[in-house]
């Protein structure tokens, strides 16, 4: 077996020290290693286990929570060179991939067979399947197709001491044993290193119809999104942009979105002409403006507002992207309450939401990059997490806990569940070498 490539080059280490959260770990990692095979990952972990050296598994480093940051003394296990799609089996509806495959590349490869890999985080052109699995990433399409967990059938995982196990199955059904696959999904690199995944593919749907509906305010937009569910329409995606977000996009891109209404709802349906007609009727009821299309170029234009939102907000200052979920029926309370929190702390908050599944991304504009985060921003974030729990929701819908939300996780879980989760961590990683200080 050949040895994996290692580097201690300080400039390379600096690129593997951070993720996209703005979290600054203490010091610089000791080394970065680039395995190409599961055996090489096993070798790295066997040595790290023996020497009790912390190991931070890493995909593309796009985490928004500090989950993939690496501080002094850690080895960064960079999995991006394990990037092969090993099998695509259209008859079985599965793909077998290495962890470093870029998500969008798998989706494109599946499309050649009339299939799709459904999970589509907005980072799908840059993030990896391994990172998506470790964070249980969501995305725009998960209103209909679920989060990453709903597409993972089985995993190959290297444990902290270097042993390799396979979990789950290669079939579409199967219930044998405890569901270790689900346990590893979303474990943020703290229980094992994913070195292979068997993933579910789904048929490409009928032509998709995209709607952009403007409303007088978020209350009307939220009501329209809830009315879709009541009418038993299952949108593929349903994205809400509030007034502050529309203002930011108009200022950045020279568009006039805000003129058509103070809230914008972008909806896609893929269930055929009848469903599209029903969706148009529901959305049109209170809309101040309603556009729809099946044309690919026009679809991209309608979706451009959603895709351009984050870059537009970044022009206002450093974005702290929060990620709460509330029951859909409580969205109408959550969205205005977030605007009230913004006013109370005198800090801009732009809210984007995957309303189909109640997932809100309040984006707090927290000073300028490089400056300390203003105390008002921290207080606003705290109140937003409190709001989520008060409304019966959760502190993270898709981005995970990382280092930023550990205290809030303890509150959400309660002492007994929290303690059980710590015991699970100790069982899988008794020496605490895997991504220490993250997720729990
Ligand atoms: C512009 C932008 C848009 C985004 N949009 C979304 C979105 O819509 N939905 C969403 O959910 N997230 C989104 N994210 C967050 C991020 O892209 C996801 O969390 C993604 O899943 C991280 O993948 P990655 O390859 O970058 O993983 P990394 O950031 O490298 O790692 C993330 C976590 O996974 C662990 N990990 C990585 N690979 C492995 C492995 N093979 N085995 C075990 N553990 C591993 C790491 O230790 C870390 O804990 C966005 C980020 C950006 C920058």
* pLDDT for res 223: 95
* pLDDT for res 207: 81
Count of other CB atoms within 10 angstroms of residue 84:
13
Q: Is the CB of 323 under 6 A from ligand 1?
A: no
* pLDDT for res 76: 98
Give me the mean pLDDT over the 42-47 stretch: 98
CA–CA distances in Å: residue 171 to residues 27, 91, 94, 174, 198? 45, 11, 8, 7, 9
Given the CA of residue 188, which atom of ligand 1 is nearest to it?
Answer: 49
Q: Is the CB of 132 under 6 A from ligand 1?
A: yes
Q: Which tens digit of pLDDT belongs to each residue from 275-293?
A: 999 999 999 999 999 999 9
Parallel/antiparallel/unpaired status of strands 263-269 and 237-241: antiparallel
Q: Which tens digit of pLDDT belongs to each residue from 389-408?
A: 999 999 999 999 999 999 99
Contact by Cβ (8 Å): 361, 351: yes
Contact by Cβ (8 Å): 165, 157: yes
Q: Which tens digit of pLDDT belongs to each residue from 343-389?
A: 999 999 999 999 999 999 999 999 887 788 899 999 999 999 999 99
Give me the mean pLDDT over the 147-159 stretch: 97
In the predicted model, is pLDDT for residue 1 greater than 80?
no
Q: What CA–CA distance (Å, rounded) separates 197 from 169?
A: 10
Give me the mean pLDDT over the 249-277 stretch: 95
Contact by Cβ (8 Å): 348, 244: yes
Q: Which of 127, 237, 354, 357 best tests ligand 1's pocket when mutated (most atoms within 8 Å of CB)?
A: 127
Q: What CA–CA distance (Å, rounded) separates 273 from 41?
A: 49
Q: What CA–CA distance (Å, rounded) separates 394 from 413?
A: 10
Q: Is the CB of 193 under 6 A from ligand 1?
A: yes
Given the CA of residue 140, which atom of ligand 1 is nearest to it?
Answer: 8
- 138 pLDDT band, cuts 50/70/90, is very high
Percent of the chain with pLDDT over 70: 100
* pLDDT for res 132: 98
> Picking from 94-98, 141-145, 234-238, which range would have the lowest pLDDT averaged per residue?
141-145
> Which residue has the CA at smallest separation from atom 36 of ligand 1?
131
- 142 pLDDT band, cuts 50/70/90, is confident
79: tokens are 């999995």
Q: Is the CB of 139 under 6 A from ligand 1?
A: yes
> Which residue has the CA at smallest separation from atom 53 of ligand 1?
62
CA–CA distances in Å: residue 376 to residues 353, 363, 369, 380? 22, 14, 16, 6
Q: Is the CB of 362 under 6 A from ligand 1?
A: no
Average pLDDT over the chain, rounded to whole?
95
> Which residue has the CA at smallest separation from atom 9 of ligand 1?
121
Q: Give 391 or 306, the one with higher predicted confidence.
A: 391
* pLDDT for res 8: 98
In the predicted model, is pLDDT for residue 206 greater than 80?
no
* pLDDT for res 324: 97
Q: Is the CB of 64 under 6 A from ligand 1?
A: yes
Q: Which bin fits 320, alpha (ψ -120 to 50), beta or left (φ > 0)?
A: beta
> Which residue has the CA at smallest separation from atom 2 of ligand 1?
123
Q: Give 1 or 307, the one with higher predicted confidence.
A: 307
Q: Which tens digit of pLDDT belongs to each residue from 73-111?
A: 999 999 999 999 999 999 999 999 999 999 999 999 999
Q: What CA–CA distance (Å, rounded) separates 13 from 326?
A: 39
* pLDDT for res 370: 77
Q: Which of 56, 122, 123, 405 best tests ligand 1's pocket when mutated (most atoms within 8 Å of CB)?
A: 123
Q: Is the CB of 80 under 6 A from ligand 1?
A: no
| 60 CA distance to ligand 1 middle (Å) | 7
> Which residue has the CA at smallest separation from atom 11 of ligand 1?
137
Q: Is the CB of 435 under 6 A from ligand 1?
A: yes
Q: Is the CB of 61 under 6 A from ligand 1?
A: yes
């Amino acid at each position: 077996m050949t040895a994996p490539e290692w580097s201690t080059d300080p400039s390379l280490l600096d690129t593997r020290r951070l993720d996209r959260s703005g979290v600054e770990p203490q010091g610089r990692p000791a080394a970065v290693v680039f395995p190409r095979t599961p055996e090489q990952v096993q070798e790295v972990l066997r040595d790290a286990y023996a020497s009790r050296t912390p190991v931070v598994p890493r995909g593309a480093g796009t985490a928004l929570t500090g989950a993939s940051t690496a501080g002094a003394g850690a080895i960064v296990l960079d999995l991006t060179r394990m990037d092969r799609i090993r099998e695509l089996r259209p008859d079985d509806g599965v793909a077998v991939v290495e962890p470093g495959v870029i998500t969008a590349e798998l989706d494109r490869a599946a499309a050649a067979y009339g299939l799709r890999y459904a999970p589509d985080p907005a980072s799908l052109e840059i993030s990896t399947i391994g990172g998506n699995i470790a964070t249980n990433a969501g995305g725009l399409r998960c209103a209909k197709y679920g989060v990453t967990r709903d597409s993972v059938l089985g995993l190959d995982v290297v444990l902290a001491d270097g042993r390799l196990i396979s979990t789950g199955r290669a079939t579409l059904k199967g219930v044998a044993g405890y569901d270790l696959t689900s346990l590893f999904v979303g474990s943020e690199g703290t229980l094992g290193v994913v070195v292979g995944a068997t993933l579910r593919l789904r048929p490409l749907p009928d032509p998709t119809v995209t709607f952009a509906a403007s409303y007088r305010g978020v209350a009307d937009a939220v009501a329209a999104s809830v009315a879709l569910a009541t009418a038993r329409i299952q949108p593929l995606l349903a994205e809400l942009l509030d007034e502050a977000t529309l203002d930011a996009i108009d200022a950045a891109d020279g568009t006039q979105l805000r003129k058509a209404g103070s809230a914008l709802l972008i909806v896609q349906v893929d269930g055929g002409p009848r469903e599209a007609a029903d969706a148009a009727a529901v959305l049109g009821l209170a809309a101040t403006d309603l556009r729809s299309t099946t044309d690919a170029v026009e679809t991209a234009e309608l979706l451009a507002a959603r895709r351009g939102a984050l870059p537009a907000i970044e022009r206002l200052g450093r974005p702290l992207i929060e990620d709460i979920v509330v029951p859909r029926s409580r969205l109408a309370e959550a969205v205005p309450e977030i605007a009230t929190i913004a006013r109370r702390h005198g800090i801009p908050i732009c809210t984007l939401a995957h309303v189909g599944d109640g997932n809100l991304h309040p984006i707090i504009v927290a000073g300028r990059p490089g400056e300390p985060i203003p105390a008002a921003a921290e207080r606003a974030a705290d109140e937003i997490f409190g709001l989520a729990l008060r409304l019966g929701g959760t502190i993270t819908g898709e981005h995970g806990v990382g280092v930023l939300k550990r205290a809030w996780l303890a509150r959400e879980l309660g002492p007994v569940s929290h303690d059980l989760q710590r015991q699970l961590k100790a069982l899988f990683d008794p020496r605490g070498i895997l991504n220490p200080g993250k997720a729990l």
